[in-house]
Structure 1
């Protein structure tokens, strides 16, 4: 069983990922975005947070996400200790 610290970290990352999704329109603009959203939800449901992060990035690109979306992904990546992703999302948030 995962430690309490790890479970708390997962909860924080899930919160950031969920907040990022809220920054996108409810109605997605393409079948590709719908597919990415479905895959994102599936990864979250299975606690595959690294894959969910990657799928969220694809979804954000497909939806021309606002800076607030990328900031939430940046926070999720930082919490997950994924420095390369964190730097990429920081650049997108400040573009």
Structure 2
């Protein structure tokens, strides 16, 4: 039984090309430093750099908030807005609109 001659298989009869193809496949997929592992590591690096930028922005925002709270006016504003604190001679009215109230359907 003879093997059919194909023009596509002719280059693989050369031992050097065969070794080169096997080496390339080994290096791309099976080696410890393969292209697949490098691609995965590069993706992880990009994700970590994005996370790093996010946390830098959050740190800047928190530092700005701390700077605001370090002044008397900023601290008073925060206490009034967040905890509804008031001075002794003041009255506070909290106005809530219907669309901002929680209903049983929202929960």
What's the TM-score, normalizing by structure 1?
0.26
Structure (1 or 2) with the greater helix fraction: 1
Q: Which has the larger radius of gyration?
A: 2
What's the TM-score, normalizing by structure 2?
0.24
